[in-house]
Amino acid sequence: MAANGAPAPPRKRRIGVMTSGGDSPGMNGAVRAVVRMSIHMGCESYAIYEGYEGLVQGGDLIKEMHWEDVRGYLSRGGTLIGTARCMAFMERWGRLKAAKNMVDRGIDALVICGGDGSLTGADKFRAEWPSLLKELVETGELTQAEVDPFQHLNIVGLVGSIDNDMSGTDATIGCYSSLERICSAVDDVFDTAASHQRGFVIEVMGRHCGWLALMASIATGSDFVFIPEKPPRVGWEDQMCDIIATHRKRGKRRSIVIIAEGAHDRELNKITANQVKDLLTQKLNLDTRVTVLGHTQRGGHACFYDRWLSTLQGVEAVKAVLDATPETPSPVITIRENKIERSNLMETVALTKSVSAAIAAKDFDKAMQLRDVEFKEYYNSYVITTSTDHPALRLPEERRMRIAIIHVGAPAGGMNPATRAAVAYCLTRGHTPIAIHNGFPGLQRHHDDKPVGSVRECRWIDVDPWVNEGGSEIGTNRGLPSSDMKKTAECFGLYKFDALFLIGGFEAFTAASELRKAREQYDVFKIPLVVLPATVSNNVPGTEYSLGSDTCLNTLIQFCDAIRQSASSSRRRVFVIETQGGRSGYLATMAGLSVGALAVYIPEEGINIHMIARDIEFLRENFKNDQGASRAGKIILRNERASTTYTTQVIADMIKEEARGRFESRAAVPGHYQQGGKPSPMDRIRALRMAIKCMQHIEDRFTGKSKDWIADDPLSTVVIGIQGSEVVFTSMGGPTGLEATGTDWGDRRPKNEFWLAMKETVDILSGRPKLTDCC
Ligand code: ATP
């Protein structure tokens, strides 16, 4: 009862958040999202500092968190609330103290971001919870009345680990940032290796899990990789030297071997970086050096993907806490391709442990099976692109095809790695890969059966260095087949293409559509036409992800971080930053989510005077509440086509005018800088996986088929894409195909933009009021 006799208001739920085990980039994003989402949902939020140590010790290590406390968290590396390995929590007496501290502070739900050890500890805590409370009452530490409101403990796990060693999720928070550190180091080593024609053996983290080593190998085009789940076969020494010698003979000037720190042979004898180095030196006479990357792999700010993942998973964790019933098993928040999901925490941990057990039992096939499907696919794709002269992998003569590759539209990170992967796959299988240089205009330029050199067969040695190159090495162009369909058809006939692989954005999609429709006049277009989306705008129908968008977002968040820091704490400044994206607000929204923008303007919503008035008012409030060090610049993101009237400069000027000296504003346009330099590791590895899937689609479905059969098959004109939790091919033609049902041709974007639902999350986490709340 309240003092006036009215019933006391219901107790607000208190949700604790902690980071535990090894730190990983993105943990801060998770803490920020949990704190703000908890507050948004009407709960109170508590941070448990120093992992389980804080829970056991209590006192100042358990602290209520307010909205402003997590300001600026997204761009910071490590974990700002600390982490530790806590021996006391392994013992019942430690967990008893932790339980008492939680009841004392009124916390009955915990979101834990850590590895499998931390999550095991959390589940054990939950299972013991009733007995811990009973013991606390029996020993007189707490009364029955004190423990009564806390009968059930909710636990939700978030997987924070750089190793990506948790089964049941495609990615853990931190693994892509770590991969980025590794790739950037290997890229640098490449340059010096090529200059001196040296060999390098690079050791990366991963005691039981080879994810970092494998993905770094794919992303940097290493010659050989050692991972714990798939030890090399007996006689690996010769196999490795043969592969490297073959690559050298073809003209490769640099040789790189990547080795996970937990690498071993099939008898579990450790394979060390020095051992590999000695082999290369002695057997191949190669001047070889060892580089151990060590803790640099953990450090630094989180990349775009880890900010995105940790934010969305943090939001989901709070929803899971509020949905939980006493019967619900503890969930862990996972991701499958592009879909955030909830899985059973203990089943996921058990699956993870079974991988280590399979390795310990030397059952490596089982270890690979227990890893995610995606991991196995990546491994097979890597092998098939590094063993291009393996006779057993070659197809019989009659099944080989002439596969043309073309880039269409603006350059995007990942175009080159995708081309390299497709070419390597073709060479391994015996197909003929043919590059069309400078897009359709390049193709259309030839005269009277006299090729002008824009159509060329690809050699492995030419494309191999493209593994980490940005832009488009074969040249890309926005021109479409329709600008000269007759000439396009003549060239298809002249070069006898059996399939066309188009890499590009909305123009590539449009080009494939035009060619498909022109099949009625030209038989030469009755071949498989496969589109791999590659555009920073991520606006191609049929996919939630395009190559290049990750590279662009990484570049954009670096720009935003740098520009925000430039505002010293004495200057109250708002930056209105203009993003690319055409008529799609994807880039602006995703960048907004990962830099914590105060407002995002997108073409899908447009801009009106009420929105600007609301946001100026919101800025005033925001600056008023801002104290001390957190007074860095604020960011507003505006897509380049969000409004023709309210341009980036106009919005910046309006803010300045209305702020009346209390704060100032600046417009900033990163422009083509957003297309990025080298493609991000995610764009590189997905380029490989998707390009190979495209080649396999062409090979498995269409070899030996007649032109009419191909033209009648809806899957002969397709877009490959990620949709939710799957990678799928979607037909473009026909009454249900993407052209008819999935494409907003006027605005050049998909009809259903999956990310629009995330726009609300950006607003929730920045605290931006709804228009109806204020105007
Ligand atoms: P990383 O992947 O970085 O090693 P992790 O979460 O697996 O992260 P651990 O050192 O295994 O790291 O666990 C972190 C903390 O979790 C431990 O110090 C301990 O406090 C707690 N913990 C781990 N396993 C258990 C367990 N079985 N019972 C109780 N608490 C545990």
Kindly report, residue by residue over 246-294, the tens digit of the pLDDT: 888 888 888 999 999 999 999 999 999 999 999 999 999 988 999 999 8
Handedness of CA 726, 727, 729, 732 (dihedral sign): positive
341 touches 335 (CB < 8 A): yes
Instruction: Give the pair of three-digit tokens for residue 586.
Output: 């994807």
- Cβ neighbourhood burial of 529 (10 Å; 0-12, 13-18, 19+): buried
Residue nearest to atom 24 of ligand 1 (CA): 117
Q: How far is the CA of 16 from the centre of ligand 1 (A)?
A: 18
Handedness of CA 255, 260, 262, 263 (dihedral sign): negative
Tell me how far the alpha carbon of residue 193 is from its chain's centroid. 29
Give the per-residue SS3 of 331-396: EEEEEECCEEEEEEHHHHHHHHHHHHHHHHCCCHHHHHHHCCHHHHHHHHHHHHHHCCCCHHHCCC
**Sequence-distant (≥ 6) Cβ neighbours of residue 352 within 8 angstroms:** 116, 165, 166, 167, 168
Instruction: Give the pair of three-digit tokens for residue 426.
Output: 């073709």
Residue 539 has pLDDT above 70, yes or no: yes
**pLDDT the model gives residue 568:** 58
C-alpha angle 613/614/619, rounded to 5°? 95
Classified as helix, coil or strand, 173 is strand
Q: How far is the CA of 181 from the centre of ligand 1 (A)?
A: 25
Residue nearest to atom 19 of ligand 1 (CA): 86
In this predicted model, what pLDDT tens digit does every residue of 56-93 receive, in sequence order? Answer: 999 999 999 999 999 989 999 999 999 999 999 999 99
Instruction: Give the pair of three-digit tokens for residue 711.
Output: 């033209």
Q: pLDDT category, 8, cuts 50, 70, 90?
A: low
In this predicted model, what pLDDT tens digit does every residue of 591-630 receive, in sequence order? Answer: 999 999 999 999 999 999 999 999 999 998 888 877 654 5
Tell me how far the alpha carbon of residue 766 is from its chain's centroid. 22
- Cβ neighbourhood burial of 701 (10 Å; 0-12, 13-18, 19+): middle
Q: How far is the CA of 163 from the centre of ligand 1 (A)?
A: 15
Atom from ligand 1 closest to the CA of residue 24 = 3
Atom from ligand 1 closest to the CA of residue 89 = 20
DSSP one-letter code for 577: E
Residue nearest to atom 11 of ligand 1 (CA): 117
DSSP one-letter code for 24: -
Classified as helix, coil or strand, 86 is coil
Ligand 1 and 206: CB distance under 6 A: no
**pLDDT the model gives residue 587:** 97
Ligand 1 and 21: CB distance under 6 A: yes
**pLDDT the model gives residue 644:** 96
**pLDDT the model gives residue 373:** 81
Of 27, 49, 89, the one to substitute when testing ligand 1's pocket (max ligand atoms within 8 A of C-beta) is 89
Residue 632 has pLDDT above 90, yes or no: no
**pLDDT the model gives residue 770:** 87
**pLDDT the model gives residue 631:** 58
Average pLDDT over residues 95-101: 97
**Nearest in space to 52 (alpha carbons), one of 115, 140, 144:** 115
Classified as helix, coil or strand, 703 is coil
- Cβ neighbourhood burial of 367 (10 Å; 0-12, 13-18, 19+): buried
Instruction: Give the pair of three-digit tokens for residue 316.
Output: 């989901």
Catalytic residue numbers read 163
**Nearest in space to 576 (alpha carbons), one of 615, 634, 646:** 634
Residue nearest to atom 12 of ligand 1 (CA): 21
| Number of Cβ atoms within 10 Å of the Cβ of 260 | 27
Q: pLDDT category, 449, cuts 50, 70, 90?
A: low
Residue 500 has pLDDT above 50, yes or no: yes
| Number of Cβ atoms within 10 Å of the Cβ of 343 | 20
Mean pLDDT of the chain: 92
Residue 355 has pLDDT above 70, yes or no: yes
Residue 447 has pLDDT above 80, yes or no: no
Ligand 1 and 121: CB distance under 6 A: yes
Q: How far is the CA of 64 from the centre of ligand 1 (A)?
A: 24
Question: In Å, what is the CA distance from 510 to each residue of 507, 535, 600, 718, 719?
Answer: 5, 13, 29, 12, 11
**pLDDT the model gives residue 625:** 74
**pLDDT the model gives residue 569:** 57
Question: In Å, what is the CA distance from 191 to each residue of 194, 200, 385, 551, 688?
Answer: 5, 11, 21, 21, 22
Average pLDDT over residues 672-680: 87
**pLDDT the model gives residue 59:** 96
**Nearest in space to 264 (alpha carbons), one of 359, 367, 163:** 359
**pLDDT the model gives residue 124:** 94
Q: How far is the CA of 55 from the centre of ligand 1 (A)?
A: 14
**pLDDT the model gives residue 450:** 62
Average pLDDT over residues 412-420: 97
Query: H-helix or E-strand containing 416?
Result: helix 415-429
Interatomic CA distance for residues 626 and 624, integer angstroms: 6
Q: How far apart are the first and last CA of the chain?
A: 38
Classified as helix, coil or strand, 140 is coil
**pLDDT the model gives residue 7:** 66
**pLDDT the model gives residue 584:** 97
Instruction: Give the pair of three-digit tokens for residue 285.
Output: 């006479």
Average pLDDT over residues 458-487: 94
Ligand 1 and 413: CB distance under 6 A: no
Question: Which DSSP string do the residues of 237-288 spell out, in sequence order?
Answer: HHHHHHHHHHHHHTT---EEEEEETT-B-TT--B--HHHHHHHHHHHH---E
Residue nearest to atom 20 of ligand 1 (CA): 86
ipTM, 2 dp: 0.96
497 CB-side CA count, 13 A: 30
Q: How far is the CA of 112 from the centre of ligand 1 (A)?
A: 11
C-alpha dihedral over 130, 131, 133, 137, to 10 degrees? 140
- Which residue type sits at 513? S
**pLDDT the model gives residue 423:** 96
Mark 27-66 as b/e (b = at least 16 C-beta within 10 Å): bbbbbbbbbbbbbbbebbbbbbbbbbbbbbbbeebbbebe
β-pair partners for 154: 109
356 touches 166 (CB < 8 A): no
Query: H-helix or E-strand containing 698?
Result: helix 681-702
Query: Checking DSSP bridges between strand 109-114 and strand 573-579, what pairing results, if any?
Result: unpaired
Residue 309 has pLDDT above 50, yes or no: yes
Ligand 1 and 353: CB distance under 6 A: no
Handedness of CA 412, 413, 414, 417 (dihedral sign): positive
Of 18, 55, 85, the one to substitute when testing ligand 1's pocket (max ligand atoms within 8 A of C-beta) is 85
Ligand 1 and 54: CB distance under 6 A: no
Handedness of CA 752, 753, 754, 758 (dihedral sign): negative
Residue nearest to atom 3 of ligand 1 (CA): 22
Average pLDDT over residues 686-704: 96
Classified as helix, coil or strand, 543 is coil
**pLDDT the model gives residue 663:** 86
- Which residue type sits at 478? R
**pLDDT the model gives residue 5:** 63
**pLDDT the model gives residue 372:** 79
**Sequence-distant (≥ 6) Cβ neighbours of residue 396 within 8 angstroms:** none
Query: H-helix or E-strand containing 433?
Result: strand 432-436
Average pLDDT over residues 464-489: 95
DSSP one-letter code for 603: T
Of 18, 19, 20, the one to substitute when testing ligand 1's pocket (max ligand atoms within 8 A of C-beta) is 20
Q: How far is the CA of 81 from the centre of ligand 1 (A)?
A: 17
Interatomic CA distance for residues 338 and 726, integer angstroms: 8
Q: How far is the CA of 121 from the centre of ligand 1 (A)?
A: 6
Interatomic CA distance for residues 594 and 555, integer angstroms: 12
β-pair partners for 225: 258
Ligand 1 and 174: CB distance under 6 A: no
Instruction: Give the pair of three-digit tokens for residue 612.
Output: 């600007």
In this predicted model, what pLDDT tens digit does every residue of 314-349 receive, in sequence order? Answer: 999 999 999 998 888 999 999 998 999 999 999 999
Percent of the chain with pLDDT over 70: 96
35 touches 111 (CB < 8 A): no
Ligand 1 and 114: CB distance under 6 A: yes
Interatomic CA distance for residues 483 and 442, integer angstroms: 12
Ligand 1 and 117: CB distance under 6 A: yes
Residue 1 has pLDDT above 50, yes or no: no
**pLDDT the model gives residue 624:** 80
Q: How far is the CA of 51 from the centre of ligand 1 (A)?
A: 10
**pLDDT the model gives residue 250:** 84
Query: H-helix or E-strand containing 48?
Result: strand 44-48
**pLDDT the model gives residue 627:** 63
**Nearest in space to 650 (alpha carbons), one of 661, 638, 663:** 638
